[in-house]
Chains A and B, each alone.
Chain A
């Protein structure tokens, strides 16, 4: 039995501990915002936060999440339902095309901005190099990251995932 917190709510899953976190999130918890793109840590579509760090959930065994805090795209909004400033910036810059890579892009961008409030181009390149966008929206992603940084609100925003509630099981 693996017990962990996803987007603020506690979950217990009785599954093979080597199951990748990606499939536990998508299939067992039915949170489908996190995407499968390659399964081999090459595309970033599956990016989630594990204790605040961005990880490729397709190669992270669920066992690694024991007792941890997991944040997915669905957990970025505030408890009141406001979009995260990075999500707002994504809309303002009209970033997504097909949109399939964007959950992963946004999770990587949020992690970057939490660690570096004002990233330069080199910092953006290195933080985002693991996230492929086949629709080629890299220019817009870069602009959206800079927009969110410019508004200096990422540090003070409080995603609902950061507010663990008392046990609620699936």
Chain B
């Protein structure tokens, strides 16, 4: 609680009466030195400026206002649980609204407020913002990471405080009304009771009176033992609308007078339209206009299918670029060369330098060496990129599902040279985000096309466009060396890689190895990159945890036991690892043709251990079961948390088994799910999740499941086949043949 107390003093909390009676409580968070800004804003513009958290109306409906976008993670329900529990509200009275991206004030309060301590803009996002909006972008991080950040920041620091403050005000109101001491009152299920006299009053009855008090900035929060709604099974609020077809995704926006657009962007990033012949397309029935956006061509028609058909008739020539000869192999060579050169020339930069690693390698009995590689990956959200826009003079409206609606607004405004005040973003559900919907490219295109044609336009990317114009998880190479003593002791760990983004600690290992050198260099490419579920952990989780098993083998140890040995001073890690091993039956004999692999990964404040079981059949790997143990401090909404683990694991498994974006003549080759396969029902393993509530600071849920599946899978495959999978995806291996160790031992 000490952390929270510290935060509260730097925060800002206010309450008041809302129109029509009722109570509203808001909390704005900000860095210590921004107090002046917030207060002056509030006093000039009233409570609209607050980032409002909770409203109670006179009908007794309690609404949590949640500043996070729904992309499947269900965080909104968890946040409402945190608020309701601290309030002692009746769960069925509680609903939520998404904070409006149209409300400047709420968003500027977010921008100014939601910056906790040392939160920094992930490097991959910096290009999407420019100077003046840097602070806003900082706040975007918290929206962007969605499931991984919403509960542990907004929930812990905002929802619980607002709920507890509201409860105190309602108790004060009842005490005043009945002229009794506050200590004689109890709150439960949206009712305040005075046991001695038998009097009761509902929150609805007390709301207006409660609103006259000033909320405490440091209300007393509940102890875990007193939680009634947090940590309990509740059904997610958003699910009913997702089973009857009524949920409104960005692609479902309907605007009067709307036309439809299909688009083709330059196949090679950096290329532009050299010439365009649209005469044939424009003759088609229903086609109104062909729009040249400079680096893309769009056809606007009365229906999407007409637009898509006509697009095939547009003859576009693209300018040549210096990237026209880049292909997958040239990129791989570049990456391998760049990391080797950096290590040899000493030009790399260090994440970790520990002990005398040079000496340790010299003294080693065995030096183990291996290079690991992962390919570029697309997000392949189920809902292809799309946006609907309308431009009227200097006003613009956009209907879209965005991971950072606020950032979209500024990006659209900048692209169209409009005042951000005049740009409204209507936020919708997202058919998958995974990082992809933090980038406003399709929204900007829609707005530009709408301005050109003078009517509202719904732009939908084809699946091929979505595959070929993603912001990719970069392809990465990572080279390891490990020094092992004659007695099996692991003396040193050396790792050089490229593509250093976020989170900075992703390549760091938790193991007690005395000498370590973890370092990196640059190896830029022309492919745009961006956050992909778990960001840098998505590659380093595979690299470090798969190579660790090679080290264990060289040391003559069981991979689980060596992890235990080198985590002796990390009890929290050990507990998670032990739980997964125990539940999966680690140590029991594994039949011929089967394999069992383990991994451990800490990311976004959560610890996840996974044990994967595989079966080899006719040279193909089938994944039978994944046992996952996770410690995220406290799982506020346990079933939603488990669903997030299942989802993160499945997403990582698709990438590990099949995911590869390839490049030919500078252009991405994949067009749909035949050449970018993903896990389907028949190859989906049983996933068992075991939650450990350690009571430590709450960690994330949306991303931490993803990094650990690939290494555990690779480790299981080794046992089943004798082949070390050092390069993803797994689908490129033919396990009818055992691939001998190529790069072992010096």
Quick one: given A98-B431, A139-B646, are A133 and B382 in contact (CB under 8 Å)?
A: yes
B651 to A35, Cβ gap below 8 A? no
A94 to B643, Cβ gap below 8 A? yes
B254 within 8 A of A: yes
A103 within 8 A of B: yes
- Give the docked Cα–Cα distance between A27 and B253 (Å): 11
Chain B: which residue is nearest A33 at the CB level?
A: B245
Quick one: given A96-B243, A132-B673, A134-B432, are A125 and B646 in contact (CB under 8 Å)?
A: no
B269 within 8 A of A: no
A135 to B303, Cβ gap below 8 A? no
Chain A: which residue is nearest B648 at the CB level?
A: A136
Chain A: which residue is nearest B652 at the CB level?
A: A136
- Of the stretches B70-78, B392-400, B475-483, the one at the interface is B70-78
A102 within 8 A of B: yes
- Give the docked Cα–Cα distance between A132 and B431 (Å): 12
Quick one: given A36-B460, A42-B672, A98-B429, are A136 and B383 in contact (CB under 8 Å)?
A: no
- Of the stretches B81-89, B234-242, B339-347, B597-605, the one at the interface is B234-242
- CB contacts (< 8 Å) of B239 on chain A: these are 90-91, 94-96, 99
Quick one: given A98-B431, A100-B249, are A134 and B678 in contact (CB under 8 Å)?
A: yes
Quick one: given A72-B245, A74-B244, A96-B242, are A137 and B643 in contact (CB under 8 Å)?
A: yes
Quick one: given A32-B245, A33-B244, A33-B246, are A97 and B680 in contact (CB under 8 Å)?
A: no
B507 within 8 A of A: no
A98 to B382, Cβ gap below 8 A? yes
B3 within 8 A of A: no
- CB contacts (< 8 Å) of B406 on chain A: these are none
A97 to B245, Cβ gap below 8 A? no
Chain A: which residue is nearest B649 at the CB level?
A: A136
Q: In angstroms, how far is the closest chain A Cβ from the Cβ of B341?
A: 38
- CB contacts (< 8 Å) of B650 on chain A: these are 133, 135-138
A141 within 8 A of B: yes
A83 within 8 A of B: yes
- Give the docked Cα–Cα distance between A127 and B240 (Å): 24
A124 within 8 A of B: yes
- Within 21-50 of A, Cβ neighbours of B (below 8 Å) are at 23, 27-28, 30-40, 42-43, 45
Secondary structure call for the A interface: loop
- Of the stretches B203-211, B523-531, B682-690, B720-728, the one at the interface is B682-690
1/0 contact string of B650-672 vs chain A (CB within 8 Å) = 11011000000000000000001
B681 to A16, Cβ gap below 8 A? no
* Contact with A97, one of B249, B639, B643, B674 (Cβ below 8 angstroms): B643
- Give the docked Cα–Cα distance between A31 and B246 (Å): 9
- CB contacts (< 8 Å) of A37 on chain B: these are 382-384, 463
B681 to A43, Cβ gap below 8 A? no
- CB contacts (< 8 Å) of B247 on chain A: these are 99
- CB contacts (< 8 Å) of A19 on chain B: these are 303, 305-306
A70 within 8 A of B: no
- CB contacts (< 8 Å) of B672 on chain A: these are 38, 40, 42
B679 within 8 A of A: yes
- CB contacts (< 8 Å) of A23 on chain B: these are 303-305
Quick one: given A43-B382, A72-B245, are A140 and B646 in contact (CB under 8 Å)?
A: yes
* Contact with A74, one of B240, B245, B383, B681 (Cβ below 8 angstroms): B245
Chain A: which residue is nearest B249 at the CB level?
A: A100
- Give the docked Cα–Cα distance between A105 and B648 (Å): 20
- Give the docked Cα–Cα distance between A20 and B303 (Å): 11
B673 to A16, Cβ gap below 8 A? no
A42 to B244, Cβ gap below 8 A? no
1/0 contact string of A80-113 vs chain B (CB within 8 Å) = 0001000100110011111111110010000000
Q: In angstroms, how far is the closest chain B Cβ from the Cβ of A134?
A: 4
A142 to B681, Cβ gap below 8 A? yes
Quick one: given A39-B463, A40-B463, are A134 and B384 in contact (CB under 8 Å)?
A: no
Quick one: given A23-B304, A91-B235, A139-B686, are A129 and B463 in contact (CB under 8 Å)?
A: no
- Give the docked Cα–Cα distance between A141 and B646 (Å): 12
Looking at B249, B251, B303, B681, which has the most chain A CB atoms within 10 Å of its CB?
Answer: B681
B381 within 8 A of A: yes
Looking at A20, A102, A128, which has the most chain B CB atoms within 10 Å of its CB?
Answer: A102
Chain A: which residue is nearest B679 at the CB level?
A: A136
B154 within 8 A of A: no
B243 to A36, Cβ gap below 8 A? no
- Give the docked Cα–Cα distance between A126 and B681 (Å): 8
Q: In angstroms, how far is the closest chain A Cβ from the Cβ of B25?
A: 30
Chain A: which residue is nearest B640 at the CB level?
A: A94
A77 within 8 A of B: yes
- Give the docked Cα–Cα distance between A113 and B627 (Å): 30
* Contact with A16, one of B240, B306, B384, B648 (Cβ below 8 angstroms): B306
- Give the docked Cα–Cα distance between A32 and B138 (Å): 35
B579 within 8 A of A: no
* Contact with B432, one of A42, A74, A98, A124 (Cβ below 8 angstroms): A98
Q: In angstroms, how far is the closest chain B Cβ from the Cβ of A108?
A: 10
A73 within 8 A of B: yes
- CB contacts (< 8 Å) of B305 on chain A: these are 19-20, 23
A9 within 8 A of B: no
A125 to B681, Cβ gap below 8 A? yes
- Give the docked Cα–Cα distance between A89 and B535 (Å): 34
Looking at B236, B243, B462, which has the most chain A CB atoms within 10 Å of its CB?
Answer: B243
- CB contacts (< 8 Å) of A87 on chain B: these are 243-244
- CB contacts (< 8 Å) of B429 on chain A: these are 98-100
B681 to A100, Cβ gap below 8 A? no
Quick one: given A37-B383, A99-B431, A134-B382, are A27 and B246 in contact (CB under 8 Å)?
A: no
- Give the docked Cα–Cα distance between A128 and B643 (Å): 20
Q: In angstroms, how far is the closest chain B Cβ from the Cβ of A122?
A: 9
- Give the docked Cα–Cα distance between A147 and B330 (Å): 51
A77 to B647, Cβ gap below 8 A? no
B151 within 8 A of A: no
- Give the docked Cα–Cα distance between A73 and B672 (Å): 25
* Contact with B431, one of A35, A94, A125, A128 (Cβ below 8 angstroms): A35
- Give the docked Cα–Cα distance between A73 and B240 (Å): 13
A135 to B681, Cβ gap below 8 A? no
* Contact with B242, one of A27, A43, A99, A141 (Cβ below 8 angstroms): A99
25 contacts between A and B (CB under 8 A): A19-B303, A27-B304, A35-B431, A36-B384, A37-B383, A37-B463, A38-B463, A42-B673, A45-B382, A73-B244, A83-B244, A90-B239, A91-B235, A96-B243, A97-B643, A98-B381, A98-B382, A99-B241, A99-B242, A99-B429, A103-B245, A134-B654, A135-B432, A136-B648, A137-B650
Extra contacts besides A19-B306, A134-B381, A138-B680 (10): CB < 8 Å: A33-B244, A35-B249, A72-B245, A74-B244, A96-B72, A100-B381, A134-B654, A135-B647, A136-B646, A138-B679
5 A-B pairs with least C-beta separation: A33-B245, A136-B650, A100-B431, A99-B242, A98-B72
Give the B-binding residues of A (Cβ under 8 A). Answer: 15-16, 19-20, 23, 27-28, 30-40, 42-43, 45, 72-74, 76-77, 83, 87, 90-91, 94-103, 106, 124-126, 128-129, 131-142
